[in-house]
Chain A
Amino acid sequence: MYFSGGAELLFDKKKKHDVNLPAKETPWTIKDLLPWMKDNMLKERPELFIQGETVRPGILVLINDADWELMGELDYSIQNKDKIVFISTLHGG
């Protein structure tokens, strides 16, 4: 898992995280992953990362270097060794 654009500031200020998801009967989807991240990885102010069941506006999710919209968004089922990236959009100039 990888965070950038400032999204890493919510996750121990670390950009790269190796994550082992616990075993589960049904395959892990992004929809399952987000609340799991909220409970297990997010230290503070979850509203800056998650809103409702999805990420907040202004965060782009990438699965193996592709926009998650191309991969099924929340319904994408996570494979072993997938690289999931959360980018906060930059606005400065």
Chain B
Amino acid sequence: MAEEEIEHLKKLIAEKDKEIEKLKGATNIQKDFLTHVDENHVNDLPKKSKLSNPEISRYSRQLILPEIGIKGQVLLSNTSILIVGAGGLGCPAAIYLAAAGVGCLGLVDYDEVELSNLHRQILHSESKVNVKKCVSAAQACTELNSFVKCVPYHLQLNSSNALKIISQYDIVLDATDNVATRYLLNDACILAGKPLVSGSALRFEGQLTVYNYKGGPCYRCLYPKPPPPETVTNCSDGGVLGVIPGIIGSLQALEAIKIATGNECSYNQKLLMYDGLEGTFRTIRLRGRQSTCPICSDNPTITQLIDYEQFCGARASDKDKSVTVLNREDRLSAADYKSLLDKDHPHILVDVRQPVEVDICKLPTNSINIPLNDLHKSSSVNQLSSMINSMSEETTDQVPVICVCRRGNDSQLAVQKIKETLKHDNVAIQDIIGGLTSWAKTVDPEFPTY
């Protein structure tokens, strides 16, 4: 009996020890990151002139490549690389650079890990949800290779901190997800004189270019004007298959290694276009440095960092923002709509999302699916008209036409579009505030969000 008791207590102690270790780990995670930059954390590393025996064993398979060799490996271990964005591109880039043995790896990300990141941001795991991305990525890199010094920065790169951070590094990787930060990084790299290895990915496609290297062009030489904000699609709206940023991020790491080890870089003044669905890599010859470029020409008009959100007319994040274009009386809350359903009130529900989204989930009632961009088509107008006509035969009241989408942005535009095209005066056209996201939050917690 006593022996059994002892066994049981021993088990308990072991479990509690494990818990303590886990908590210790968690507190370590929370401490080790920078939120501002007031000192140099990178250049205090002693420069190496040779490799230790464990390093020789570790890197042996790349050391025997004549293009790398001991010389290249020493160069790499004296190189500091800054990765801006610890997401779909930043994760594979960081882990390959850590594996290859760079001296110092800076990881900038202001964001925390979400479940919807895990399919592509492969350094973060289920247990890292809500953990800071920069910390999660740095931890994964350190676990793989403790020779590499990892510096996580939990901050939004902006005009006041960018130069301070970038000037401490030798090479910068643009692994961000928005236009404003891409212009900021470009300008900061020009002002600090650093090569910028820039990658991007969406849907099944990826692009890669090295800017500001050996007299080549910069981002602004190619794109002097920012794109209109309505033409920019983020991963949340456009979708992306995880392997695509995986491939582009890996290529960014490769270009950085080639630059660090004194090899020729392949995408200076060239653009790589990868189409994963077609299985094609195309390399395009780009223009050279432009004499009219406002930042990298001999007579620049931009000599310090500017306000990039204002310049681009877009925020420096890819977070979804909610817009309000309709008056409150043209809108229903999700709860309002629920009570309308409960009362069996006759109405027409128009789901304005893409069919592929309707397949994921839809409201538990009859609806018609007309994607926002198809609403103006005469077939759509006719379909809607005939439904309204048949419904108004049964009632003298106005026929409620209710538009719904994922977050309540498109549905507002849909209301405006329908009002423009529909010739009926016995209809009341409204939308659901916050769309299906709000429905899941306020009405049905079992409803999926995506």
Contact = CB atoms under 8 A, between A and B. Distances in A.
A44 interface: yes
Interface string B272-302: 0101001000111111000000000000000
Interface in A51-66: 56-58, 60, 62, 65-66
A6 to B, nearest CB: 6
B231 A93 contact: no
Interface in B44-77: none
Interface stretch (A19-27, A33-41, A82-90): A82-90
A6 B275 contact: no
Contacts of B273: 4-5, 87
Given A65-B282, A91-B177, A91-B178, A5 B205 contact: yes
A90 B206 contact: yes
Interface in B183-229: 199-203, 205-207, 222-228
Interface stretch (B84-92, B378-386, B424-432): B84-92
**Is chain B's binding surface mostly helix, strand, loop or mixed?**
mixed
A48 interface: yes
A4 B275 contact: yes
B175 interface: yes
A65 B203 contact: no
B317 to A, nearest CB: 12
B373 interface: yes
Contacts of A93: 85, 87-90, 175-177, 199-201, 235, 245
Interface in A7-38: 15
B357 to A, nearest CB: 16
A90 B275 CA distance: 12
A13 B265 CA distance: 34
Nearest to B224: A57
A4 B231 contact: no
Contacts of B373: 44
Interface of A: 4-6, 15, 44, 48, 56-58, 60, 62, 65-67, 69-70, 85, 87-93
Given A48-B228, A91-B182, A93-B88, 14 more contacts: A4-B275, A6-B238, A57-B224, A58-B223, A67-B284, A69-B287, A89-B223, A90-B201, A91-B179, A91-B202, A91-B233, A92-B233, A92-B238, A93-B201
